[in-house]
Structure 1
Amino acid sequence: MGNRKKLAAGPFAVLTLIVSVVVCAQEGQVAFNESHARDLEPLAIHPRTSLTIVDQIRHNHFIKKPLDDSASSEIFDKYVNTLDPGHAYLLQPDLDALNKYRYRLDEALKHGDLKPAFAIYNTFQARLLNRLDALIAGLEDGVEKINFDADETLQIDRETAPWSENEAANDALWERRVKASILSMKLNERDLSDIQDVLLKRYRNRLKQARQTRSEDAFQLYINAFASTYDPHTQYLSPRSSENFNMSMSLSLQGIGAVLRTEDDYTSVVRLVTAGPADKAGELKPSDRIVSVGQGERGKLIDVVGWRLDDVVELIRGPKGTIVRLELVDNSGDEESSRVIRIKRDTVKLEEQAAQKKVFTLESELGDVRIGVLDIPTFYVDFNAVRRGEKNFRSTTRDVSRLIEELKVEGVDGLVVDLRSNGGGSLQEAQSLTGLFIRTGPTVQVRKARRPNARVYRDEDGRTAWDGPLAVLVNRLSASASEIFAGAIQDYQRGLVIGTQTFGKGTVQTLVPLNRGQLKITEAKFYRVSGDSTQHQGIVPDIAYPDVFGIDNIGESTLDDALTWDTIKPAVYRQTNNVQPYLERLRVNHERRVAQDPDFAYLRSLSNWRREKRAETHISLNQTTRVIEKEADDVWRLDLENALLIAKGENPITSLKDLAARQAQRESEKISDSDDDPDPLIMETGHILMDYINLSGVSSQTAQASN
Structure 2
Amino acid sequence: MTRLRIPRALVAVGCLLLLLLASALDAQTLSSMERERGRTMLRQVRAQIEANFYDAGFNGLNLDARAAHADSIIRHATSLGEMFAAIAALTMEMEDSHTFFVPPWQTTEVIYGWDMTIVGDSAFVSEVEPRSDAERAGVRVGDRVLLVNGHVPTRGNLWSMWYVFRALRPQPGLRVVMRAPGGEPRQLDLAAQVRQRFRVIDLTRPGGGHDIHTLIREAQNEADEMRPRFARVGDVLVWKLPSFEASEEQVRQGLRRARESRALVLDLRGNGGGSVSLLLSLLGGMSADSMVVGMQRERRRQVPMVARGAGANAFTGELVVLVDSRSASAAEIAARTVQLTGRGVVLGDRTAGAVSRGRMVPLRMGAERVVMFGVLVTDARLLMRDGADLEGVGVLPDTLILPTAEQLAAGEDPVLAAALTRLGQPTNPAAAGALLPGN
TM bin, normalised by shorter chain, reads 0.5 to 0.7
| SS of residue in 2 equivalent to 1:24 | helix
CA distance in 1, matches of 2:52, 2:143: 35
Task: Confirm whether residue 474 of structure 1 aligns to residue 298 of structure 2.
Answer: no
Q: CA deviation at 1:494?
A: 1.0
CA distance in 2, matches of 1:507, 1:276: 36
Tell me how large the CA RMSD over aligned residues is.
Answer: 5.1
CA distance in 2, matches of 1:418, 1:457: 22
Q: CA deviation at 1:433?
A: 0.8
Q: Greater Rg, structure 1 or structure 2?
A: 1
Task: Confirm whether residue 683 of structure 1 aligns to residue 422 of structure 2.
Answer: no
Task: Confirm whether residue 53 of structure 1 aligns to residue 9 of structure 2.
Answer: no
Amino acid of the structure 1 residue aligned with 2:418 = E
Contact 1:272–1:286 at 8 Å: present in 2 too?
Answer: no
Number of the residue aligned with 2:141: 283
Amino acid of the structure 2 residue aligned with 1:55 = A
Contact 1:435–1:459 at 8 Å: present in 2 too?
Answer: yes
CA distance in 2, matches of 1:276, 1:217: 29
Give the alignment of 1:380-395 within 5 angstroms: 380-382=245-247, 394-395=249-250
| Deviation string, structure 1 residues 437-478 (Cα, Å, up to 9, x no partner) | 101213533524323322323314424442111111222221
Amino acid of the structure 2 residue aligned with 1:221 = A
Give the alignment of 1:169-248 within 5 angstroms: 213-214=78-79, 216-233=80-97, 234-240=99-105
Amino acid of the structure 1 residue aligned with 2:382 = F
Number of the residue aligned with 2:253: 399
Contact 1:469–1:495 at 8 Å: present in 2 too?
Answer: yes
**Pick aligned residue for 1:425 from 263, 274, 285:** 274
Cα separation, partners in 2 of 1:352 and 1:270, compared to 1, 3 Å: same
Number of the residue aligned with 2:393: 537
| Deviation string, structure 1 residues 160-197 (Cα, Å, up to 9, x no partner) | xxxxxxxxxxxxxxxxxxxxxxxxxxxxxxxxxxxxxx
Number of the residue aligned with 1:44: 36
Cα separation, partners in 2 of 1:454 and 1:53, compared to 1, 3 Å: same
Give the alignment of 1:570-649 within 5 angstroms: 603=404
| Deviation string, structure 1 residues 370-426 (Cα, Å, up to 9, x no partner) | 4332222222334xxxxxxxxxx753x123124325xx3xxx542221222222222
Contact 1:259–1:272 at 8 Å: present in 2 too?
Answer: yes
Compute the TM-score of the two structures, normalised by the length of structure 2: 0.62
CA distance in 2, matches of 1:314, 1:482: 31
Task: Confirm whether residue 355 of structure 1 aligns to residue 206 of structure 2.
Answer: no
CA distance in 2, matches of 1:352, 1:399: 18
Cα separation, partners in 2 of 1:687 and 1:71, compared to 1, 3 Å: closer
Number of the residue aligned with 2:203: none
| Deviation string, structure 1 residues 625-649 (Cα, Å, up to 9, x no partner) | xxxxxxxxxxxxxxxx6xx9xxxxx
CA distance in 1, matches of 2:90, 2:374: 15
| Deviation string, structure 1 residues 579-623 (Cα, Å, up to 9, x no partner) | xxxxxxxxxxxxxxxxxxxxxxxx4xx6xxxxxxxxxxxxxxxxx
Give the alignment of 1:687-698 within 5 angstroms: 687-690=421-424
Amino acid of the structure 2 residue aligned with 1:117 = I
Q: CA deviation at 1:539?
A: 1.7
Contact 1:440–1:463 at 8 Å: present in 2 too?
Answer: no
| SS of residue in 2 equivalent to 1:239 | coil
Number of the residue aligned with 1:462: 311
Cα separation, partners in 2 of 1:59 and 1:488, compared to 1, 3 Å: same
Unmatched tracts of structure 1, length 5 or more: 1-11, 28-35, 76-104, 123-212, 248-252, 261-268, 292-306, 317-325, 362-369, 383-392, 549-602, 607-640, 645-659, 667-671, 673-677, 692-707
Higher relative contact order, structure no. (Cα contacts within 8 Å, ≥ 6 residues apart): 2
**Pick aligned residue for 2:65 from 106, 117, 129:** 106
Contact 2:177–2:188 at 8 Å: present in 1 too?
Answer: yes
| SS of residue in 1 equivalent to 2:252 | helix
- How many residues matched? 350
| SS of residue in 2 equivalent to 1:225 | helix
> Percent identity among equivalent residues?
20
| SS of residue in 1 equivalent to 2:21 | coil
CA distance in 2, matches of 1:465, 1:491: 18
Unmatched tracts of structure 2, length 5 or more: 118-122, 133-138, 150-163, 195-216, 366-372, 426-439
Task: Confirm whether residue 329 of structure 1 aligns to residue 183 of structure 2.
Answer: no
Cα separation, partners in 2 of 1:441 and 1:277, compared to 1, 3 Å: farther
Number of the residue aligned with 2:157: none
Contact 2:362–2:374 at 8 Å: present in 1 too?
Answer: yes
CA distance in 2, matches of 1:276, 1:506: 34
Number of the residue aligned with 1:373: 238
**Pick aligned residue for 2:380 from 499, 524, 544:** 524
Contact 2:288–2:314 at 8 Å: present in 1 too?
Answer: no
CA distance in 2, matches of 1:288, 1:256: 18
Cα separation, partners in 2 of 1:445 and 1:467, compared to 1, 3 Å: same
Cα separation, partners in 2 of 1:259 and 1:48, compared to 1, 3 Å: farther
Cα separation, partners in 2 of 1:329 and 1:61, compared to 1, 3 Å: same
| SS of residue in 2 equivalent to 1:222 | helix
Contact 1:447–1:453 at 8 Å: present in 2 too?
Answer: yes
Structure number with higher helix proportion: 1
Cα separation, partners in 2 of 1:488 and 1:226, compared to 1, 3 Å: same
Contact 1:444–1:526 at 8 Å: present in 2 too?
Answer: no
Amino acid of the structure 1 residue aligned with 2:326 = L
